[in-house]
Amino acid sequence: MSVCIGVGGMAVRVECPDARFLHELRRHYAGFVEDVTDGALELVVEPLPPPAVGSDAELEVRLEAGLWILHRGDFRAEWDPGAGKGVVRLHPNRYSLDSVLRIIHSLELARTGGGLLLHGASAVRNGRGFVFSGPSGAGKTTMARLAPAGVRLLTDEISYLRVAGDGFEAWGTPFAGELAQPGENIVAPLAALYFLRQAGENRIDPLSPSEALRLILKNTLFFAHDPVLVANVFALADRLAGSVEVGELSFAPDVRVWSLIR
Amino acid sequence: MNEMYPKRAANAAFRVLGGEAIVMNPEDSSLFSLNATAAVIWRAADGRRSLREIVVSDVCVEFEVEPEDAMREALEFASALAEHGILILAETPEAGA
């Protein structure tokens, strides 16, 4: 039994013997469920009983003999990047699986040089993609909540950016933040990337090239301490900084900020 | 004080933009922003020229600063990056100098 979850043009077929869990996944990832296709990555879930003692051990991602080991208090996974297959042992809940999927996507994007996951809300307006990035509390979900009619939300938490021609595309993701609502499964060329700063006014200021690169790297989801992947992520961030408008968006938390986003 | 010969770690990812440099440590993905002075030293750190030579020939010329002041700052900067493993400080120059 399985469900195929496609995000950012990358499909992961999740196999699990627990029918109730698969049903929950189908419901949660509804807009991102695909027919099983050849070429999908494969993730086998080996269900564990609920832990007797919860653990909040921090995430560790390391490469061992060609396999990525993903270990956190609530899961342990092995991912074979060459084969595009992996196994995860966890007590079935979608939050844990969601984390595993984010990590797999970030590893695969870094490995292939195909794109980046960025802490940020993103949306499409007039056919153009916009990302609003920043750490927790910066206002990502607020920007999503303030979006006026006609704006299509891609995510309020994790922006999925893929290299496309000379630029990047912004894809919708099911990876939600406080909004607790998946984005739309659509894609648009990325027009601008703004780093959020809450203020008493609405304004966009340009960033120096070095500050733009620094902020992109700082807000990129990247878990693996590996020289090859670090070089790839660095090159992708540099490419992103040079291919779209990057600025600081100071905003007062009201809908007028969206008048700047066109 | 003995001469030291700074060299960028082979795998350190970096980019010099607008005179400043952004450097990422390949071992732990930690990020460093170098100001214009530090960026000059970083760019010149090939293991063949001494830190003093870089400071006198490059930093002092480009920024019109006193050699002793510049050297003090350069030592601080080089030691800090060396602690993070992204700059190697050798006591002798690399072959081929």
Contact call for residues A204 and A247 (beta carbons, < 8 A):
yes
Dist. CA A92–CA A228, nearest whole Å: 33
Name the minimum distance, in Å, from the CA of B13 to any CA of chain A. 6
Q: Which pLDDT score, from 0 to 100, does residue A55 have?
A: 67
Instruction: Give the residue numbers spanning the domain of A87.
Output: 2-112
Closest CA of chain B from A167, distance in Å:
19
Residue B95 has pLDDT above 90, yes or no: no
Compute the distance between CA of residue A114 and CA of residue A119 in angstroms, rounded to an integer.
17
Model confidence pLDDT, tens digit, residues A96-155: 999 999 999 999 999 999 999 999 999 999 999 999 999 888 999 999 999 999 999 999
Does A80 share its domain with A139? Answer: no
Q: Which of A112, A136, A166 is the last residue of a domain?
A: A112
Distances (CA, A) of B75 to A199, A206, A234, B7: 39, 33, 27, 13
Q: Are residues A83 and A188 in the same domain?
A: no
* A119 and A247 in a common domain: yes
Cβ contacts from A onto B, under 8 A:
49
| Nearest residue in A to B34, CA atom | A210
Reported as a single tens digit per residue, the pLDDT across B57-78 is: 999 999 989 999 999 999 999 9
Q: What digits encode the pLDDT tens for the residues A22-79?
A: 999 999 999 999 987 688 999 999 999 987 776 677 899 999 999 999 999 999 999 9
**Average model confidence (pLDDT) across chain A:** 94
Same domain, A182 and A64: no
- CA A217 vs. chain centroid, Å, equals 14
pLDDT band of A196, cuts 50, 70, 90: very high
Are A103 and A127 within one domain?
A: no
Minimal CA separation from B28 to chain A, in Å: 5
Number of domains in chain A: 2
- End-of-domain residue from the set A82, A112, A142: A112
Q: Does B30 touch chain A (CB under 8 A)?
A: no
Of A196, A24, A232, which Cα lies nearest the Cα of A114?
A: A232
Kindly state whether residues A103 and A70 are assigned to the same domain: yes
Assembly ipTM: 0.84
Domain ranges for chain B: 5-10+37-88
For the stretch A239-248, pLDDT in tens is 999 999 999 9
Round to whole Å and give the CA distance between A29 and B10: 42
CATH number at residue A218: 3.90.228.20
Q: Please indicate if any CB of chain B lies within 8 Å of the CB of A58.
A: no
3-state secondary structure A162-192: EEECCEEEEECCCCCCCCCCCCCCCEEEEEE
Q: Are residues A219 and A239 in the same domain?
A: yes
Closest alpha carbon to A7 in A225, A145, A157: A157
- Please check whether residues A147 and A239 belong to one and the same domain: yes
Please indicate, yes or no, whether residues A108 and A129 belong to a single structural domain of this protein. no
* CA distance to partner chain B, nearest, from residue A45 (Å): 29
The tens digit of pLDDT for each residue in A163-191 reads 999 999 999 999 998 888 899 999 999 99
Answer for the pair A101, A213: CB distance below 8 angstroms, yes or no.
Answer: no
Residues A108 and A120 occupy one common structural domain: no
- Nearest 5°: the CA angle A192, A198, A204 is 35
CB contact under 8 A, A234 and B33: no
Residues in chain B with CB shorter than 8 Å from the CB of A233 are: 24, 29
Nearest to A210 among B17, B25, B26 (CB): B17
Residues A74 and A173 in one domain: no
- DSSP E strands in chain A: the ranges are 2-7, 10-15, 33-34, 41-47, 60-64, 67-72, 75-80, 85-90, 115-125, 128-133, 152-155, 158-164, 167-171, 187-198, 203-206, 245-251
For the record, the structure tokens of B49 come out as 């020229």
Touching check for A59 and chain B: CB below 8 Å? no
Please check whether residues A173 and A104 belong to one and the same domain. Answer: no
